[in-house]
Structure 1
Amino acid sequence: MQFLSDNAASVHPAVWEAMRKADAAASPYDGDSLSVTLDEKMAALFGRDCAALWVATGTAANCLALATMVPPHGAVVCHEEAHIEMDEGGAPGFFLHGAKLLLCQGEGAKLTPDTIRAVIDPIRDDVHQVQPHAISITQASEYGRVYRPEEIAAIRALASERGLGLHMDGARFGNAAAFLDSPAGDVAGAVDALSFGFVKNGAMSAEAIVFFDEGQADIARYRRKRAGHLQSKGRFLAAQIHAMLDGDLWLGNARSANAAAAEIAGACADRLMHPVEANELFVRCTPEEREALREQGFGFYDWGEDAARFVTAWNTREDDALALAKAIASL
């Protein structure tokens, strides 16, 4: 009964079938019909013009998006727990050729205009200090917290006031949309670029960078090739994204994952460290309690000395979620 990560979830059958159908002669790289029609499909989903580029990993999606906004001498403003800071092995510095990350605090791993100002206001406007060029937020956040549309709008207003780009790491964008039960355009807000995650939600190896500025997309196409992410048979990545978008499979899968997390959360009471708004649970557990759960067959990650993280996925079995809920309640 695995709750380690939604990265470990199986590939959805519809995605496998879409890849099988794509296994035919076609134009190489991103010239095939599946890749070419992604822009139109994403524009329909978000309700505004955009350009979508496939890549194989979330790290590449985040860093290639930010590289279009931030020069080597600039900086990205992000939360101190952001994935680009904690879990991408220095990739932002590599892809952005040395650009800096300016770290903010914020409850639930979320940024606010005030926490952003606390970091950028003291920076002098001269060549002796690194200047911010973009803000990156995560939807849902690294602690499973969801930005409401008005929260994103407030950050967008600050970004526009200061001339900063706005990027959204949407590795669990589907889970945020399922929680808000709102159109994708509202969940993303007026960001400049979105890393739209599919791998955690049923795809095998495809993520999308959605640019709402065609000029940024043009830059990213060159950077994607230079970074080794322009795959020769890109139709297989495009096929996965199409399969996830068709019939809103991405949203249905996320709803399933969220429902499993909510089932478990109901048994955690005051053990919960954060409200459960997506598919991650951070639960206070002693080392002895964690060992007891593992002896019952549950897989999960330790989260510091006295906590555990449980992540549900699109294919989490209801019986497994109920069993974990019962086990936590009986600790």
Structure 2
Amino acid sequence: MHFASDNSGPVPQQVLDALHEANTGHVMAYGADPLTDEVTGLIRDLFEAPNAAVHLVATGTAGNALALSTLCQPYQTVFCTPCAHIHMDECNAPEFFTGGAKLTLVPGDDRMTPEALRHAILNEGNRGVHGPQRGPVSLTNATEWGNVYDPDQIKALAAVAREFGLPVHLDGARFANACVALGCTPAEMTWKAGVDVAVFGGTKNGLMGVEAVIFFDPAQAQSFELRRKRGAHLFSKHRYLSAQMAAYLRDDLWRGLALRANTACARLVDGLRDAGFGFANDPVANMVFIRMPRSVHQRAMAAGAVYHIWEGALEGDDPDEILTGRLVCDWSTSDAEIDAFLTVIGE
């Protein structure tokens, strides 16, 4: 009953097989290998972007921080939500790699609105040399609270950014889960909706460790390769990143893995609803934020369930106090795990 994170799950056999296949002989280093060429072509085809610049890194933090550093000057600010991953979970990496650019938190919940974004932009860049200048808008899809932006919502936010001449970055650590939940294509969720740079996540969706940074206008990527090298994120044995991503893209494995995770989550949600528990929001991808009494959380964890308490404290005097727990399903989450969890909380 392991629901702590999709980072915790195993790697599918297709990816391990691709790594084994790549582990033969000598090929050129630093991305000058046939697998990297294949991955670039596959991603361009998938995103319907034949001229896109594609670069691989090993972590989502590197992908986001290096992408933003190419879009943002040190004296600018990045507009994001208060719970954006780049604000909550990356230890100031965007600020570090941009050379000091700040983050401006757009008021609201995990999905910003066009009105809130416009207001935030208008409140920055209006103090001349004395204040931060306006910089990129960063969106997370799926969000840290398990919601998704549909293509029309992204278009509306990108339109506001365009009013001020600002680029749009998409943090796609759970890109595949969002895409599957929305039933849209990667192109519809990115450049067709106004996104300039997208991080196509793989690690949370079954890969050992690789993310693709995609610049839909290759001119915007001119400094990315230099920043990646300077930031110590250029792998010499690059073929092992590319092998993972190639397996991920062949036969739409990325979509199949995300569908399995989302389907497992839907089964979990149905069971939780039947048990009478509430949710912090309407689950749509592969994360559930469940509201249950402290005593139920304690019973579940005592029985071996592994997940995080998101709001509240597991230890306390009131067994009936409602706590919010985050449960995440990955591609390998089984029906048996879900049913065992539902049995425990239903006792």
The alignment's TM-score, normalised by the length of structure 1, stands at 0.96
Give the Å deviation of 1:190.
Answer: 2.5
Partner residue in 1 for 2:30: 29
Cα deviation code 1:34-62 (max 9, x no counterpart): 11233221111011231111101000000
In the alignment, the residues of structure 2 paired with residue 142 and residue 89 of structure 1 have an alpha-carbon distance, to the nearest angstrom, of 16
Contact preservation (8 Å) 1:74, 1:132: yes
Match of 1:308 among 309, 317, 325: 325
Partner residue in 2 for 1:116: 117
SS in 1 for 2:71: coil
SS in 1 for 2:105: strand
SS in 2 for 1:21: helix
In the alignment, the residues of structure 1 paired with residue 220 and residue 37 of structure 2 have an alpha-carbon distance, to the nearest angstrom, of 17
Contact preservation (8 Å) 2:38, 2:246: no
Give the Å deviation of 1:187.
Answer: 2.2
1:237 matches 2:241: yes
Partner residue in 2 for 1:277: 284
SS in 2 for 1:204: coil
Spell out the pairing of 1:240-255 with structure 2 (5 A cutoff): 240-255=244-259
The number of residues matched between the two structures is 329
SS in 2 for 1:266: helix
Cα deviation code 1:73-93 (max 9, x no counterpart): 001000000010000011111
RMSD: 1.2
Q: Report the AA paired with residue 115 of structure 2.
A: D
Give the Å deviation of 1:206.
Answer: 0.8
SS in 1 for 2:7: helix
Q: Report the AA paired with residue 97 of structure 1.
A: G
Contact preservation (8 Å) 1:279, 1:313: yes
Partner residue in 2 for 1:299: 306
Partner residue in 1 for 2:316: none
Gaps of 5+ in 1: none
Q: Report the AA paired with residue 201 of structure 2.
A: G
In the alignment, the residues of structure 2 paired with residue 134 and residue 143 of structure 1 have an alpha-carbon distance, to the nearest angstrom, of 22
Spell out the pairing of 1:29-48 with structure 2 (5 A cutoff): 29-48=30-49
Identity %: 38
Give the Å deviation of 1:282.
Answer: 0.4
Q: Report the AA paired with residue 74 of structure 1.
A: Q
In the alignment, the residues of structure 1 paired with residue 92 and residue 173 of structure 2 have an alpha-carbon distance, to the nearest angstrom, of 18
In the alignment, the residues of structure 2 paired with residue 28 and residue 222 of structure 1 have an alpha-carbon distance, to the nearest angstrom, of 16
Gaps of 5+ in 2: 313-322
Give the Å deviation of 1:125.
Answer: 5.0
In the alignment, the residues of structure 2 paired with residue 268 and residue 202 of structure 1 have an alpha-carbon distance, to the nearest angstrom, of 25
Give the Å deviation of 1:213.
Answer: 1.4
User: Which consecutive aligned stretches of 4+ in structure 1 deviate over 6 angstroms post-superposition?
Assistant: none
Match of 1:206 among 195, 210, 213: 210
Spell out the pairing of 1:95-174 with structure 2 (5 A cutoff): 95-107=97-109, 109-123=110-124, 124-174=126-176
In the alignment, the residues of structure 2 paired with residue 92 and residue 130 of structure 1 have an alpha-carbon distance, to the nearest angstrom, of 15
Contact preservation (8 Å) 1:175, 1:254: yes
Give the Å deviation of 1:212.
Answer: 0.6
1:82 matches 2:84: yes
The alignment's TM-score, normalised by the length of structure 2, stands at 0.92
